């Protein structure tokens, strides 16, 4: 559905695109695309694809593509520190400015380059003049543009990996402000991205409190004495400055005199654009360009869906699949006798399993084989490489494929995942179709004569194209030496499964059900009337209408939220909140684990989960059908839950858990002397940290002080800020800030390391783990502070957590292939984050546990020793 249809607009809208923002995002969305001579083309490629998709989806009548001109602007004259903290534009991006501007005009779109003002000012001025003529849709993510919103003005932005459409109504509901108040609000809180100070220690929450009473800067200037004393102290010294800050954040409305007709979309210069794409070797985009003969104006097509989970598929950053149309059916040679195949020795073969047949691509031909997998695996043993959508799926279906060595496989879904770990969709049909729309020149070369219905040949073409990209991004070795060798270990664990104790499950379920019934009675008594505790609407009525608790958040739809994170904030307002949180915890235990898990056990009495390599951006494994990685581990409920999992007859379990592996990785990467010394001397890291924070000897640290230090140690790896730390430790925000400041003051190298990670990620567009795993972070350049801050947290988290994930994967491969464990009859049956669980005969369990610990501790060498906590027992609880 087009936006015109979705918004029920009565006239064709004009699209005003923040071209500079789109250009920047395009550059960091893909970091590796270059022409054969090394000229960067990543921003050109993705910008064109974005605009083609806009034309395809919206068929717009009027479009303006507005880019920043050369600085300085009037804001630099007003305030010489404006944007002074911004790093210079990367040279590889600057080289692509002129080509992008040329491409925009070849596409028949109006290019406007601002002079003395910013692109945002031009957009604001044009919006102000055009909004009474026709609807305006601003395509941009800069928060300053929100001041342009009106009844006929909408904003389409990229929010993380999804598109977000903002209207006047949704903005007012979300922010509690009118658009015309937005520059005043920004003046109060400042903007670190533009180096605008704002009022020190006044954030969004405080600013909204001020503006609820004094809605403009003028009102604040005239009435600041009515503010509470503490607020008055913050505001009074800045009364003159805030008006300057507003001039910096307020958009100009008096520039760009262009008339509406100048933005009318003209006929695309199809041949010129084709020549342009040839010049920059972006041949894969040519299939999206209308043929030069006949009508060359943008073709109207059926609208694509508005939102996708991946930024590379949304309107702002991609173009839909345009596969060539085949007039003749594909020729497939049926093979009954594998001797009919050409010689495969040291050759590359594409292999795709469809229902009960195998489709092979070899020598530009497609072959069909419907016989046993065992014979095919044996016939393909001499090949150099087999390109297939999922090695894991093949091994799940038939052990015969274990005859193929891991170094002979090229897993297409794994390759796509490693190149873009946040895509989430790596199914073969999507990958196959991408051969026809991806602007990668080697893909185009590999697939130029490919029939669109090909399967085996398409697998081969995808590998040939992707292989070059993988090696350019230094990801080929990671796939060959870590990810593909891990697959047999994962499938082995899936097939082994873990045994469950039905009696323990039934008993635990009965106890939890009794507790839930008692909590229901207590909650209803406290509420003063019966209501459905599972209904968020009824609960909101009880909490906020009847009990008159102070709300702490809203849903996306604007309703008062009763989500757990919101209830955590108000748990001290009334004892019923604590009971509701306890009820929800037990209800989740009942509905997610205790009731469904026993039903999922196979005839062997064991649960066989599926391990997923492609599910997380950091490289950690996940599991599904069922998810055993979220089994509760802490507190009495965690122990009871794990006690329901047991070893098979005459067997025991051994659980090996890396001790504080992420902190050890942090010590290795940061080289912080305090962390290195603590781990090398086998000290308790949390007591050591607490001693630093409290300025006392480690022996004198109390349990509460150690707990605080532990929360900070682990929390900062995950980017915990003062607000969350305050909630976790039940302390004030100021106390939390003091703890964090003291922490980094004592561990100075750690702060330098964090800053360097973010700096490198900002320059490169990605971070890497110890094994070379990569995560793209385009939002580091977002002008949305929330998105940029989240990307900074993701940068640090990925380096540390991703490296820890690499290490445990190394250990799993070694354990799976270890001859000694095999001799002892031990096998891996489960992996949960930093823990490996093996099952072995009673008489060999101690030896197997010892061997597993050796493997895990010696699997790689860090600047500090790896340590493994080991336990054995009949149940998982005993072993853990």
Q: State the CATH number of the domain containing residue 557.
A: 1.20.1060.10
Q: Which residues contact 57 (CB under 8 A, 6 or more apart)?
A: 2, 301, 303, 304, 315, 320
- Pick the range with the lowest mean pLDDT from 68-82, 319-333, 659-673: 319-333
Residues 380 and 470 in one domain: yes
Please tell me which residue, 289 or 817, carries the higher pLDDT value: 817
User: What φ, ψ does residue 305 adopt, rounded to 5°?
Assistant: -70, 150
The 10s digit of each residue's pLDDT in 527-586 is 989 999 988 889 999 999 889 898 887 775 667 888 888 898 888 899 999 999 999 999
Q: What's the predicted TM-score (pTM) here?
A: 0.74
CATH classification of the domain holding 782: 1.10.150.20
**Nearest alpha carbon to residue 707 among 690, 726, 727:** 690
Residue 867 lies in a domain: no
Q: Which residues contact 323 (CB under 8 A, 6 or more apart)?
A: 287, 433, 436, 437, 452
Extended strands (E) in 131-184: 136-139, 153-159, 162-166
- Among 320, 352, 369, the domain-final residue is 320
Task: Compute the distance between CA of residue 436 and CA of residue 757 in angstroms, rounded to an integer.
Answer: 36
**Nearest alpha carbon to residue 661 among 704, 708, 713:** 713
Q: Which residues contact 353 (CB under 8 A, 6 or more apart)?
A: 359, 388, 393, 394, 397
Q: Give the confidence band of 314 by pLDDT, cuts at 50, 70, 90.
A: very low
User: What φ, ψ does residue 39 adopt, rounded to 5°?
Assistant: -70, 130
Q: Rounded mean pLDDT of the chain?
A: 87
The 10s digit of each residue's pLDDT in 131-187 is 999 999 999 988 889 999 999 999 998 765 677 899 999 898 888 889 999 999 999
Residues 369 and 518 in one domain: no
Residue 545 lies in a domain: yes
Residue 840 lies in a domain: no
CATH classification of the domain holding 274: 3.40.50.1010
Other beta carbons within 10 Å of 506: 12
Task: Compute the distance between CA of residue 306 and CA of residue 180 in angstroms, rounded to an integer.
Answer: 28
- Among 251, 275, 290, the domain-final residue is 251
CATH classification of the domain holding 432: 3.30.420
Please provide the size of the chain in residues: 880
- Cβ proximity of 767 and 798 under 8 Å: yes
Residues 534 and 402 in one domain: no
Residues 439 and 471 in one domain: yes
Q: Give the confidence band of 781 by pLDDT, cuts at 50, 70, 90.
A: confident
**What domain range is 97 assigned to?**
1-172+259-320
**Nearest alpha carbon to residue 652 among 494, 825, 819:** 825
Residues 155 and 293 in one domain: yes
Residue 820 has pLDDT above 70, yes or no: yes
Q: Please report the pLDDT score of residue 303 as a whole number.
A: 29
Rounded (5°) CA angle 286-287-292: 70
Residue 235 lies in a domain: yes
Residue 191 lies in a domain: yes
Cis peptide upstream of residue 734 (ω within 30 degrees of 0): no
Which of the listed ranges 82-86, 227-231, 532-536, 769-773 does the model predict with the highest average pLDDT? 769-773
Residues 202 and 127 in one domain: no
Number of domains in the chain: 5
Residue 295 lies in a domain: yes
Extended strands (E) in 451-507: 498-500
Print the SS3 string covering 584-622.
HHHHHHHHHHHCHHHHCCCCCCEECCEEECCCCCCCCCE
Please tell me which residue, 86 or 358, carries the higher pLDDT value: 358
Residues 512 and 450 in one domain: no
Residues 33 and 145 in one domain: yes
Q: Please report the pLDDT score of residue 321 as a whole number.
A: 36
Only one residue has tokens 């080509």, namely 99
The 10s digit of each residue's pLDDT in 647-676 is 999 999 999 999 999 999 999 999 999 899
Q: Please report the pLDDT score of residue 708 as a whole number.
A: 85
Residues 696 and 670 in one domain: yes
Q: In what order do the strands lie in the sheet with 651-658?
A: 827-832, 835-841, 651-658, 868-873
Measuring CA to CA, how many Å separate 749 from each of 670, 714, 744, 766? 7, 17, 8, 22
Mean pLDDT of 346-350: 95
Residues 305 and 202 in one domain: no
- Among 756, 790, 824, the domain-final residue is 790
Residue 411 lies in a domain: yes
> DSSP state, 13?
P
Task: Compute the distance between CA of residue 486 and CA of residue 488 in angstroms, rounded to an integer.
Answer: 6
Residue 447 has pLDDT above 70, yes or no: no
Residues 233 and 292 in one domain: no
User: What φ, ψ does residue 433 adopt, rounded to 5°?
Assistant: -65, -30
> DSSP state, 347?
-
The 10s digit of each residue's pLDDT in 701-735 is 898 888 888 888 888 777 777 878 887 887 888 88
Residues 683 and 782 in one domain: yes
The 10s digit of each residue's pLDDT in 746-761 is 888 988 999 899 999 9
- Cβ proximity of 711 and 725 under 8 Å: yes
Residue 131 lies in a domain: yes
User: What φ, ψ does residue 722 adopt, rounded to 5°?
Assistant: -60, -35
| Alpha carbon 653 to its chain's center | 35
């Amino acid at each position: 559905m087009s936006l015109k249809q979705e918004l029920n607009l009565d006239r064709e809208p004009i699209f005003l695109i923040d071209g500079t923002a789109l250009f920047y995002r395009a550059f960091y969305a893909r970091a590796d695309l270059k022409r054969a001579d090394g000229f960067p083309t990543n921003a050109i490629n993705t910008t064109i694809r974005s605009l083609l998709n806009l034309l395809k989806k919206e068929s717009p009548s009027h479009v303006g593509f507005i880019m920043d001109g050369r600085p300085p602007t009037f804001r630099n004259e007003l305030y010489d520190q404006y944007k002074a903290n911004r790093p210079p534009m990367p040279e590889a991006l600057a080289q692509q400015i002129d080509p992008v501007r040329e491409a925009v005009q070849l596409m028949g779109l109006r290019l406007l380059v601002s002079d003395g003002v910013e692109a945002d000012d031009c957009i604001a001025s044009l919006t102000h003049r055009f909004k009474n003529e026709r609807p305006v849709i601003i395509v941009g993510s800069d928060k300053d543009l929100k001041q342009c919103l009106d009844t006929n003005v909408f904003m389409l932005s990229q929010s993380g990996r999804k598109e977000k459409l903002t209207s006047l109504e949704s903005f007012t509901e979300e922010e509690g402000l009118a658009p015309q108040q937005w520059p005043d609000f920004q003046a109060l809180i400042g903007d670190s991205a533009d180096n605008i100070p704002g009022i020190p220690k006044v954030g969004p929450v405080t600013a909204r409190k001020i503006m609820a009473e004094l809605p403009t800067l003028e009102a604040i200037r005239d009435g600041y004495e009515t503010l509470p004393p503490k607020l008055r102290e913050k505001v009074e010294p800045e009364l003159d400055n805030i008006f300057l800050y507003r001039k910096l954040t307020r958009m100009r409305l008096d520039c760009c005199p262009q008339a509406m007709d100048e933005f009318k979309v003209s006929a695309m210069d199809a041949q010129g654009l084709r020549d342009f794409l040839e010049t920059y070797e972006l041949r894969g985009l040519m299939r999206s360009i209308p043929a030069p003969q006949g009508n060359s104006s943008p073709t109207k097509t059926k609208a694509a869906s508005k939102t996708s989970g991946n930024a590379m598929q949304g309107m702002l950053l991609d173009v839909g699949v345009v596969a060539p149309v085949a007039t003749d059916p594909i020729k497939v040679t049926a093979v009954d006798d594998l001797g009919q195949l050409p010689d495969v020795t040291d050759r590359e073969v594409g292999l795709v399993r469809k229902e009960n047949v195998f489709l092979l691509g070899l020598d530009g031909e497609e072959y069909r084989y419907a016989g046993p997998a065992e014979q095919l695996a044996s016939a393909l043993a001499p090949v150099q490489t087999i390109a297939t959508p999922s090695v894991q799926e093949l091994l799940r279906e038939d052990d015969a494929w274990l005859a193929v060595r891991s170094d002979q496989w090229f897993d297409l879904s794994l390759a796509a995942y490693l190149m873009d770990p946040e895509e989430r969709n790596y199914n073969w049909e999507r990958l196959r179709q991408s051969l026809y729309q991806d602007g990668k020149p080697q893909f185009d070369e590999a697939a130029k004569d490919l029939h669109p219905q090909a399967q085996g040949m398409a697998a081969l073409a995808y590998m040939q194209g992707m292989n070059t990209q993988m090696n350019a991004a230094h990801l080929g070795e990671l796939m060959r030496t870590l990810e593909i060798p891990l697959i047999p270990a994962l499938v082995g664990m899936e097939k082994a499964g873990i045994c469950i104790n039905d009696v323990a499950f039934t008993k635990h379920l009965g106890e939890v059900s009794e507790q839930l019934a008692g909590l229901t009675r207590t909650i209803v008594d406290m509420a003063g009337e019966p209501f459905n505790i599972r209904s968020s609407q009824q609960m909101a009525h009880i909490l906020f209408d009847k009990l008159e608790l102070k709300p702490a958040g809203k849903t996306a739809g604007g309703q008062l939220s009763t989500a757990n994170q919101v209830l955590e904030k108000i748990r001290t307002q009334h004892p019923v909140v604590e009971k509701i949180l306890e009820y929800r915890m037990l209800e989740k235990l009942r509905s997610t684990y205790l009731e469904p898990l026993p039903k999922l056990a196979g005839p062997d009495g064991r649960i066989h989960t599926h391990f997923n390599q492609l599910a997380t951006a950091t490289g950690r494994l996940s599991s599904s059908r069922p998810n055993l990685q979220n089994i509760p581990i802490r507190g009495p409920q965690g122990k009871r839950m794990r006690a329901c999992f047991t070893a098979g007859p005459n067997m025991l379990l051994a659980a090996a858990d890396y001790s504080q592996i992420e902190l050890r990785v942090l010590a290795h990467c940061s080289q912080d002397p305090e962390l290195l010394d603590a781990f090398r001397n086998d000290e308790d890291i949390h007591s050591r940290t607490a001693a630093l924070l409290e300025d006392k000897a480690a022996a004198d640290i109390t349990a509460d002080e150690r707990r605080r230090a532990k929360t900070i140690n682990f929390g900062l790896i995950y980017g915990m800020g003062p607000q969350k730390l305050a909630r976790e430790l039940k302390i004030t925000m100021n106390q939390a800030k003091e703890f964090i400041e003291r922490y980094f003051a004592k561990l100075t190298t750690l702060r330098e390391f964090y800053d360097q990670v973010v700096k490198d990620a900002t320059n490169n567009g990605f971070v890497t783990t110890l094994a070379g795993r990569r995560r793209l972070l385009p939002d580091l350049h977002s002008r949305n502070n929330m998105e940029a801050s989240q990307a900074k947290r993701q940068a640090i988290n990925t380096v540390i957590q991703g490296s820890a994930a690499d290490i445990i994967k190394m250990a799993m491969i070694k354990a799976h292939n270890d001859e000694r464990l095999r001799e002892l009859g031990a096998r891996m049956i489960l992996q949960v984050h930093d823990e490996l669980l093996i099952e072995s005969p009673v008489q060999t369990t101690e030896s197997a546990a010892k061997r597993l610990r050796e493997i895990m501790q010696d699997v790689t060498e860090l600047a500090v020793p790896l340590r493994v906590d080991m336990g054995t027992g009949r149940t998982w609880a005993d072993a853990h």
